[in-house]
């Protein structure tokens, strides 16, 4: 009996196993306008987007993602896979295997760390998601959603920043109606993120009724505080109309450089934390752009930080983002 009591005392001294963020929340779902966990409770993801996978691969390592979780307080990472950026010889169209290998690592590492992962089909310079430069989208998402069908921590962003004259919601919906059924055939419960017109700014143009499949679908919004303070009215109104996920934002100019505007960024960030309109409360999930050591104001890390594995070597942007990432 005495030995049994000693055993119980020893066991009580062992710290309880700490569940990861993913273990606490499980497979995500969209209910109304809110991203929710497996139990249907509202959840807010906060984390980083990478820069282009081929631009700064030294910033995409297991230790980097572990730092996003442990030092920064992040719960999601967005793997920004540039599809057609011919200034670099390793975009997806020129080197698909290189990019898919990095995506596989990010999916694996994020699962191990218990955080969520967004696979981003990153269209950019050509703003029409239906353009022939992006003809590989259907094959890519078929492959990804089959490969990761059992990975409940994976979300799919099917077109970053649609833009250009004539590229409105009808054009985007036409594309989405091709891609969403492919993903949901392989991974029926997956959360899918759709880019919105004019560089993911015109939430007011989104008409969900034009989508064939609206299950677990969200609409992306991007802002850069030093450029986009005029977007407050659209943002505040439409986050209470449709489910929104901010997959890119920063306190700088939309170029990723230039001056910063922390007061405007703070106003957006406070609204993302919780916004109430006419008694309706919503929390917006987000990824800051970006977790990189590039010499520009959008970067959260000082130059050479990734090369030297200095994951806490923050820029002024980094200090600001970390404060909000850690806020409950």
* Cβ-Cβ contacts under 8 Å for 138 (sequence gap 6 or more): 178, 179, 182
User: Structure tokens of 91?
Assistant: 């975009």
Q: What angle do CA 297, 299, 302 make, to 5 degrees?
A: 95
Q: Would you say 260 and 254 are in contact if contact means Cβ atoms under 8 Å apart?
A: no
- Residue 243's nearest CA partner among 200, 279, 184, 283 is 283
First and final CA of the chain: distance in angstroms? 45
* Cβ-Cβ contacts under 8 Å for 198 (sequence gap 6 or more): 162, 163, 205
Measured in residues, the chain has a length of 328
- Active-site residue numbers? 161, 248
Indicate the SS3 state at residue 231.
helix
């Amino acid at each position: 009996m005495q030995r049994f009591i000693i055993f119980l005392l020893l066991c009580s001294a062992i710290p309880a196993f700490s569940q990861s963020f993913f273990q606490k929340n499980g497979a995500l779902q969209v209910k109304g306008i809110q991203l929710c966990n497996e139990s249907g409770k509202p959840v807010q993801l906060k984390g980083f987007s990478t820069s282009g996978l081929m631009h700064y691969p030294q910033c995409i390592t297991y230790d980097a993602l572990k730092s996003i979780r442990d030092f920064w307080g992040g719960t999601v990472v967005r793997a920004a896979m540039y599809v057609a950026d011919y200034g670099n010889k390793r975009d997806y169209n020129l080197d698909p295997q290189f990019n898919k290998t990095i995506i596989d690592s990010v999916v694996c590492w994020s699962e191990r760390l218990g955080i969520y992962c967004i696979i981003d089909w990153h269209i950019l310079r050509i703003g029409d998601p239906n353009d022939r430069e992006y003809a590989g989208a259907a094959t890519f998402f078929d492959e990804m959603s089959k490969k990761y069908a059992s990975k409940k921590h994976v979300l799919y962003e099917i077109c970053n920043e649609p833009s250009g004259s004539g590229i409105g919601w009808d054009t985007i919906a036409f594309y989405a109606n091709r891609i969403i059924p492919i993903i949901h055939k392989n991974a029926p419960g997956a959360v899918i993120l759709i880019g919105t017109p004019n560089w993911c700014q015109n939430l007011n143009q989104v008409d969900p009724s034009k989508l064939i499949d609206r299950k677990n679908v969200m609409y992306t919004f991007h802002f850069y505080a030093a450029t986009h303070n005029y977007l407050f009215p659209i943002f505040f109104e439409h986050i209470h109309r449709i489910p929104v996920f901010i997959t890119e934002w920063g306190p700088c100019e939309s170029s990723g450089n230039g001056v910063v505007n922390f007061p405007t960024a703070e106003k957006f960030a406070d609204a993302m934390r919780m916004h109430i309109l006419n008694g309706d409360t919503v929390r917006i999930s987000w990824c800051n752009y970006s977790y990189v050591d590039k010499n520009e104001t959008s970067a959260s890390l000082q130059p050479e930080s990734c090369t030297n594995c200095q994951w806490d070597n923050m820029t002024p942007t980094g200090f600001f983002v970390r404060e909000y990432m850690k806020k409950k």
